[in-house]
Structure formats: C-alpha cells, structure tokens
Amino acid sequence: MRVPIELLVKKYKDNLFSAAFSICKNAQDAEDIVQETYLKYLKSKQDFESEQHIKAWLLRVTINQAKNIVLSFWKRNRITFQEYMQELPFETQEDSQVFDTVMSLPRKYRVVLHLFYFEDYSISEISEILQVKENTVKSQLARGRKLLKEKLKEAWNEDES
Amino acid sequence: MKTNREKYKDAFKVLHTSKHFHVEVESMKESRKTAFGFMAKRTLIATCIVMLSVFGVTAGNGFFAKDAQSFVLVVNAADDSTKDELHIGEKLAINPGIGGHSIGTDEYDSGYYCINIPIKFEGEHIKNIDYSVNKGGFQIVEKKGKSNIAEGNEIDVINAGQNGGGPGSEVKYYSNFTLDYNLQSSETIWINIAREGIPLSDGGDFISAEDPTIQDLEKHYQELLDGVVITCGVNFDDGTTETVDMKMGCAIDDNKNHKFTLERVN
C-alpha cells in the first residue's frame, strides 16, 4: 500500500522531527532531515504492508540520516542547542529538566529511549527499526534508564516496564 | 503520579516542525518532477557517452572482432542525481550529502559503517560481475522474495544500520556474490559494504565531539575504513575476466563535511 504524502506529512512530521532532533540536537538540521525523508518516500517505489510499516520506515530513514548529519554539518551557522531550548514552551520545570537531561545523554541511548518512551515501540520493534540485535536495544535502554535515574533522581521513577 | 513514559512525552511534546514546513513539502513534488526530467536527459546523454566509448574501443579493434570487449565503470550518486565514469587512477566521491550511508559507534564504542556503493559496469558482452571486499562484507537489500543474486557466500548479520529498502524488503549479507549484468539497477538491488566492531583509538568520543579538527576527522575515517578494497571481476561471455580494484576513502573539505570516495586502483 501507499499513503498520500500530504497525509503522511500531516500525521508524522512532528514524530520524525522529534526523532531527528533527539539525535542531531538542531532544529534546522532536523527539519532538513524530515524533508529528505519525505523526499525519499516520494522517490521510493516500495509497496508497504500497512501504515504502521510506513511510519516505521520513515522513522528508520530519519534516524539513519540524523546519525549521518551529526557527522556532516558541524560548521553550519545555527542556533545552538541551548538557545533553542530557551525558546521551547515547556509547561513545567520538570519537563524542561527531563528534556535537558535526556539530551545530555550519549546519542546511542537517546535514540532507543526516544523510540521506547515517545513512540511506544517494544524492544523487538526498536530492534527492527534500528536493524540491531534485541540484546543491543535492551542493554542500551537499561543503560539509558540508569543514567536518567542517576541524573534526575526523584524526578524519574524507578523504571516500570 | 506520572509514569516515566508520561514524563518523557510531556518533555518532548514541545518539539514541532516550523509553520513553513508544509510549503516546502508541497514544492518537493514539483522539484521531483523537474529532477526526474533532468535525470532522464542526463541518462540519455550518459548512455550516448557510454555507447560512443564502447563503439570507439570496439571500432579501434575492428568493430566485428570477436574479442572486442570493454566496459566502463560508472559511479552514480545514491540519489541518482549524478553519474560519472571512474577510470584507472581516478577517485570519485560517492554518497554526497545526507543519506546513502550510516556510520557510528556501537554500545561497546567500536565503530561500524554501512555505505552504499552505487557502481555499475556498462559495456558489451558482459555476462556478470563478481563482487568481493577484503574487510567486512556486503549488505544486499532487495525486494522480499525477489533476489537478484545468482550465487554468493552468505554470512551472519552485520549490525551496521541499513541503506535502502524498508519493511517490504529483504536484507542479506554476503562475503562475495555474483550479479548478472542485466540486473544491475538501484531500483531492484542496493549494494552496501558493511562492517562492525572496528577498533577506534578515541573509543568513539569523536562522535560527540563538538568541534573536531580536520586532522581528527581524517584520522577517524582512516581508522574506520582501514584500507578497505572492493574487488570486482567483470566476466565476459567468452569466459575471460577483467578485475577492478577500488579503494575506499574519505575526503574532508574545509567546512569539515565528509564524502566517501572510491579510487580505482587498476
């Protein structure tokens, strides 16, 4: 199946943007990545099994591109992460603290944490999206959660499943 | 009390694309049409060049001579926007811009890469092409149930990300394989080289470095690629073979952007 690009943009642009931003930490780059992802979808002649598969594919392409762009565009003129953070309309101090702490973690943990907590994917689904072993996802998730607990203390619960 | 998942979602729900985003997406369709028109012209011109070069060589040997065989090695950009011939002693950039490759460090802080190799052999009397690589292996992405690989040695999964394909595709890993001449198409098969567990002297700290020097970058990519050579045997209908060795490299420009390169050694 194929879904019209307009619908995919409307439904998933913010999901893709958050996934990209959580990796590359830059709004301009994240938006470029989302654009490129949709362009790749338009160019792709692939037949998808369901809309959920399309979403997973879009996330995978976004994440792969974001990993690359982290290595590719250091010198672009840009708003720094701290400047951008100050513009974000967090509702509470705790939201801002959680966001900042997650973003301070090593990238490999951020990717897995984002897919798990924000996108509600299971470990096996994350393993499929990232094309890595389930054990790798498990260990990165466990390490990321441990770091969050250490840094956020009372602001982060002992982890539920 | 909020769960961790709720806390995470509340923290990240502030992230949105800019209000101008939809305009750019709309314009993509137009640029796509233009790009495809442009590609068609480029393909036609490139085909003419290939035909002329093949004709030129064969004509020099006598056009109807039985042993008249030659090929041109063509390097496409991953997005098919460019197409260039790669001659002996020359080096060309592949996978410009974003996409076409994934690189990074794993949970053990060793490096990995998965890089699309958008090459194609064009010529007459070519039966098939043997592919091999001296380090790591090949990640082959094809449509599920429609393999174009005639024969090859399958190996275990290399955890290095994936280039091309999606849920409807099938990914296999080979140390070497043979591809039929007529099945060389980025629409049916993606050929990536992949490797994991590469020791890095900086333990992966490079990835999170805020402002590495050009020397840091060169050192990192050198360690990552570590003398990778792709060898292709071009098999002709008469049973003869010509071998091409291509050395993988990386070029860092003044703005610290990197481009992977292929250098044709022979």
Q: How far is B187 from chain A (nearest CA, A)?
A: 8
Q: Which residue has the higher pLDDT, B24 or A96?
A: A96
Pick the CATH number of A1-88 from 1.10.3470, 1.10.1740, 3.40.50, 1.10.1060: 1.10.1740
Contacts of B25 in chain A (CB under 8 A): 5-6, 9, 13, 35, 38
- Mark yes or no for CB contact B25/A53 under 8 Å: no
pLDDT in tens, B37-78: 333 333 334 443 443 333 333 333 333 333 445 778 887 754
What is the residue extent of each domain of chain A?
1-88, 90-152
pLDDT exceeds 50 at position A44:
yes
Q: Which residue has the higher pLDDT, B24 or B37?
A: B24
HEC secondary structure over A71-84: HHCCCCCCCCHHHH
- Mark yes or no for CB contact B168/A48 under 8 Å: yes
User: Do B131 and B138 contact (CB within 8 A), yes or no?
Assistant: yes
Per-residue confidence (pLDDT) for residue B232, from 0 to 100: 95
pLDDT in tens, A12-43: 999 999 999 998 888 888 888 898 888 888 87
Q: In this prediction, what percent of chain B has a pLDDT beyond 90? A: 24
pLDDT exceeds 60 at position B236:
yes
- Mark yes or no for CB contact A136/B159 under 8 Å: yes
Give the span between the Cα atoms of A46 and A114, in whole angstroms.
26
Token output for A160: 């539920």
Q: Which residue has the higher pLDDT, B258 or B175?
A: B175
Q: In CATH terms, is domain A90-152 a member of 1.10.1740.10?
A: no
**Chain B residue whose CA is closest to A27:** B17
ipTM: 0.90
Q: How far is A6 from chain B (nearest CA, A)?
A: 8
pLDDT in tens, A55-113: 999 998 898 878 766 544 333 445 677 888 888 999 999 999 999 999 999 888 999 99
- Mark yes or no for CB contact B21/A34 under 8 Å: yes
Residue A15 contacts B where some CB pair is shorter than 8 Å:
no
- Mark yes or no for CB contact B166/A53 under 8 Å: yes
Torsion of CA A130, A136, A139, A140, to 10 degrees: -30
Q: Kindly report whether the global pTM for this prediction surpasses the value 0.80.
A: no
